[in-house]
Copies of this chain bind each other. A is one copy, B any other.
């Protein structure tokens, strides 16, 4: 708010304020587009009963990873994994990816080889083909991956479907991903498809932190959440970072971000069916942490925990 500042910066607007603006600046008009900006992936109708999903995500050196603390394989893994996580959050199946890599001239060939080994290992795991890309020059390493997937029309889960009475559930544990999980996590593709199959009403992947991402599930007016803090699955990493202080670790579980777990809502009846099949299919933890309530009844409004914002 200095006197001489002529133009508002994006920092003053914040990441989500900026995204809201961008939505107005580039309306997506095509009839084919089922969902444009504002969900985990874009969704468009490709044939009867089938949706196509498309997402892009960029990681930048010294923001999303630090060279000294990440192996080249981990950087490649993360570049693809964050996109897979977006497909997972729709209940979709990933198909093909493009990789655009920006490198400095003096990058070693060995780095690039190991970077692609990381991408390849993850791609093979989910039968994703790397079908193209682009190389650019820059001072710092950055990588954009665009990923195309598909989903069944009836089993595609958006952010906006939560209904009063639904349970709020999360996979895995939260917090402290900076200790390593943010570079090595396994995208919840299989879990996401299974959850979608059992009829989740809304879903998102936790990239900016539970406390922030839950707000994206409140797009529908009149709904809120009650979260039982005692039930939030705090990770061991979060407890390590706070030296066993459970209260501080809980804050980390809400705020740290980059957990890449799935946060979803589902009716109690459907949850029961899901829960019954879960242990046979997955080792991943599945926890009910709260419930969807109407805002008028929501005595405990979800606190505005701060998660990660890029600006």
Residues of A that sit less than 8 Å from B by CB: 7-13, 15, 18-19, 21-22, 25-26, 28-30, 32-33, 35-39, 41-42, 44, 46-47, 54-60, 63-64, 95-96, 98-100, 102-103, 105-113, 116-117, 119-120, 123, 127, 129-140, 142, 144, 146, 148, 310-311
Contacts and interface: CB of A to CB of B under 8 A. Distances in A.
B105 A29 contact: no
A22 B131 contact: no
Contacts of A129: 28-30, 32-33, 36
Contacts of A33: 96, 129, 131
Most B-side CB within 10 Å, residue of A18, A39, A42, A146: A146
A224 to B, nearest CB: 27
B56 A102 contact: no
B98 A133 contact: no
A139 B136 contact: no
Contacts of A57: 100, 134
B135 A28 contact: no
A135 B18 contact: yes
A33 B117 CA distance: 20
Contacts of A21: 109, 112-113
B109 A8 contact: yes
Contacts of A123: 26
Given A25-B117, A112-B22, A37 B7 contact: no
Nearest to A116: B25
Contacts of A103: 10, 311
A48 to B, nearest CB: 11
B26 A116 contact: yes
A125 B9 CA distance: 30
Contact of A98 (B54, B99, B311): B54
Contacts of A46: 46-47
A152 to B, nearest CB: 16
Given A63-B136, A139-B140, A28 B108 contact: no
Contacts of A120: 25-26
A81 to B, nearest CB: 14
Contacts of A311: 103, 105, 135, 137
A277 to B, nearest CB: 29
Given A21-B112, A106-B11, A107-B10, A133 B37 contact: yes
